[in-house]
Chains A and B, each alone.
Chain A
């Protein structure tokens, strides 16, 4: 840490000189206070948590068991005579340009889109936290190396990277490879935001205090700095979930995405662009599904963020 400031001297008075001994009595029956347990207790009292949880669980159920929700096969029997047609009978939301059932494709596409969104989010968050936290907290040459590595990854044109990765793995074009292709180049944004926040937090009084009591550096980072610096990461992360689902659409559009037989919201959104002026409904429904899912995750992120912030909690 800083060399130009004198290390704060800490002086603890002898026990007999302090008259408030009784306060130090510990109620052993009380559970230990823990950041995460406190957060959970706080979260479950909030309606927003339950609303977003229900939506997320519903989306997951749709993803796992699409046939519970529609009996129309999504890709068979696409008749051009139904092209861009309106709702009729068992076809609740009408037809796509190719004459496939919009609703059925939406339901069957959930699994792909959700998987891509979640894997990419996890990937960028883990990599972003690792690189950002160490770069920001330890600084110096470690910061230089980690940050410049991020710069390299970030300046590689995403399209080039995607084309190369997907072409090299052309035999294995599945959701995992595509998530890897998207996630591996998106983490530096998260890393930099976290690094900035840590630079700010690591000079806070409570960090100084922890340091003075001899807590190890790594423990300080884990217990004090990270929880206080995580808020912007949660914001970026929850939104990138949606961005990842849309990115999958772009890749499909460029011909390096998933095969056309794989249904995904992204595939449908990019296919709907051609008839924007004449058949906007084919665009609206997959976009709406995407919006609701992202909304649920944003609300969930919001609740978690509030719960992790003891000061915000105290205000209520």
Chain B
């Protein structure tokens, strides 16, 4: 018996150390082996949430990879202006039918030709209902599109190898502007043979390509090398691009300071007050195409589409000290809003009629709130709902405090644990408070900030706002071929929004970032992503 006892103990110890050894042995070996890593740029990213298929990627983690390995009909330069990439010309007479010509002799990195079919097939695939692509809504304006059943896009017609036409349901003057978005990228023939496999190891036609079949190391990084056959305007100026996936911005920031990262495109909140001294002139802080607000649904008591509701909305808006909050909570990494779009978008204005309602004005706020109380007295707490997994608590609390201090009413944040939970409550309209809303533009145009959010029955019109006057102006702007005239209409439409305030504009999120001492020529694009192809490294 005694021997056995010790025997057992010994076995236990051996088992424990075996466990330890297997843990240590597996996966300890891999190291970066490439010798010429000097000119390879390392940048921060996050694990793509979906397979790397252009029509199925709608978040920045996958988006910045796709933008590097694909070339669409056009690309956006640093200012957000569209430049032709694969397209030779995009022409239209009526903003309804477009004729698109493609540059000759272009290929994907596997040798497949880039022709009219590679675009048409990719778009047909992305739009087809049963393919369940997350970006299918980009094709909704093209003739034949359906959300209910499989129906081919009859508006797409191949004229010859290098020419195809697009017919829309109705005139959309900003359609050419949308074509730089990743949903409109072409796909090689091989992709359609096995889309699942393709999504893990995509083949593109852009300035970079995947370094190998296993370049995408899940949750760790993706290695991209220069695609020498790419001839467009985004020719890579460096030896390659490695995007390292971070789960927390804090880790990425530490790596930038520790010299393990060349470019960072998002400063964590914990470094807001120190990053400028940490990085000096290598710190970046500029406006971006992200609009942040909170929405008060019209179905809430006291906030209907009537006299009282408008007074209360205006009072709340004027009770928020945007300058102080962006200054103290965000240390200048947000810019107080003066409209419903973004300063990086052509047509943005800070002098719309009625924009005064976005200025902190405690006296006027109190006055308007009192007028509303005269119609129907207020009681209870004004709450702003947010998802707690996104770092919103601080500014929501500060905003609530600002409202509380100015109007003398109870105000607080109402956290939902997960993004899924908050989105569900918003989508099924069960939410009984105001809620945080934000919009990052898919393409640099005013319409994208207005149409999907405030048009009657629009997909993301979470507050169920409806104003025929606004809809009419939006429609007018969309069908005008002249972009200056169109922007004029969109500005007028916003002036209606400033009166109705379906959402209370707060601020534009800046792109904050930085780069290492060895990196130079770092420029951030309109969509907050650095133009990786331009970066050089010494």
Contact = CB atoms under 8 A, between A and B. Distances in A.
Interface of A: 4, 76-81, 83, 97-99, 163, 166-167, 253-256, 259-261, 271, 273-278
A77 B405 CA distance: 6
A260 B412 contact: yes
B266 to A, nearest CB: 15
Contacts of B393: 255, 260, 271
B273 A80 contact: no
A294 to B, nearest CB: 26
Contact of A80 (B270, B324, B418): B324
Interface stretch (B23-31, B394-402, B476-484): B394-402
B325 interface: yes
B417 A255 contact: yes
13 contacts: A77-B405, A79-B405, A81-B324, A83-B328, A99-B401, A253-B388, A254-B388, A254-B417, A255-B415, A256-B417, A259-B414, A275-B273, A277-B270
A261 B412 contact: yes
Nearest to A270: B393
A81 B324 CA distance: 8
Contacts of B389: 254-255
B294 to A, nearest CB: 16
Given A167-B421, A276-B270, 16 more contacts: A4-B1, A77-B405, A80-B324, A80-B329, A80-B402, A81-B328, A97-B329, A97-B394, A98-B394, A98-B401, A167-B417, A271-B393, A274-B272, A275-B270, A277-B273, A277-B274
Contacts of B398: 80, 98
Contacts of B321: 80
Contacts of B273: 275, 277-278
A163 B417 contact: yes
A161 to B, nearest CB: 12
Contacts of A276: 270
A260 B413 contact: yes
A200 to B, nearest CB: 14
Interface string B472-492: 000000000000000000000
B212 to A, nearest CB: 35
A275 B273 CA distance: 8
A271 B398 CA distance: 12
A99 B321 CA distance: 14
Contacts of B328: 80-81, 83, 97
B406 to A, nearest CB: 11
Interface in B340-391: 387-389
B413 A80 contact: no
B324 A274 contact: no
B322 to A, nearest CB: 11
Interface residues of B, number: 31
A275 B328 CA distance: 12
- How would you classify the secondary structure of chain B's contact residues: helix, strand, loop or mixed? helix
B246 interface: no
Contacts of B329: 80, 83, 97
Given A275-B273, A277-B273, A278-B273, A78 B388 contact: no
B198 interface: no
Interface centre among A80, A98, A99, A254 (most CB of B within 10 A): A80
A73 B50 CA distance: 49
Interface in B404-433: 404-405, 412-418, 421
Contacts of B397: 98, 260
A246 to B, nearest CB: 18
A258 B450 CA distance: 37
A204 B253 CA distance: 57
Contact of A255 (B1, B324, B388, B405): B388
B277 to A, nearest CB: 10
A167 B417 CA distance: 8
Nearest to B321: A80
A44 B263 CA distance: 64
A199 B496 CA distance: 77
Contacts of A261: 412
B418 A163 contact: yes
B106 interface: no
Interface in B282-330: 321, 324-325, 328-329
B269 interface: yes
A80 B325 contact: yes
A15 B289 CA distance: 99
A292 to B, nearest CB: 27
**Cβ-closest 9 pairs across A and B:** A255-B388, A255-B415, A278-B273, A255-B417, A256-B417, A83-B328, A80-B328, A80-B324, A78-B401
A274 B417 contact: no
A78 to B, nearest CB: 5
A65 to B, nearest CB: 24
A260 B400 CA distance: 11
A196 to B, nearest CB: 14
Contacts of A98: 394, 397-398, 401
A173 to B, nearest CB: 10
Nearest to B401: A78
Contacts of A78: 401, 405
A3 B273 CA distance: 71
A259 B405 contact: no
A167 B398 CA distance: 25
A274 B270 contact: yes
A254 B402 CA distance: 24
Contacts of B1: 4
Interface in B198-238: none
A156 B163 CA distance: 58
A269 B414 CA distance: 19
Best-surrounded residue of B271, B272, B417 (most CB of chain A within 10 A): B417
B315 to A, nearest CB: 19
Nearest to B414: A259
Contacts of A275: 270, 273
A256 B412 CA distance: 15
Nearest to A83: B328
B388 A256 contact: yes
A275 B394 CA distance: 12
B394 A273 contact: no
A56 to B, nearest CB: 32
B488 to A, nearest CB: 37
Contacts of B272: 274
A204 B423 CA distance: 61
A97 B398 CA distance: 9
A256 B421 CA distance: 12
A255 B436 CA distance: 15
Contacts of B416: 255
Contacts of A277: 270-271, 273-274
B241 to A, nearest CB: 31
B312 to A, nearest CB: 22
Contacts of A253: 388
A99 B398 CA distance: 9
B394 A274 contact: yes
B207 to A, nearest CB: 37
A278 B401 contact: no
A77 B398 CA distance: 11
Interface string B62-86: 0000000000000000000000000
Nearest to A255: B388
A79 B402 CA distance: 8
Contact of B417 (A4, A79, A166, A278): A166
Contacts of A99: 401
Interface string B324-339: 1100110000000000
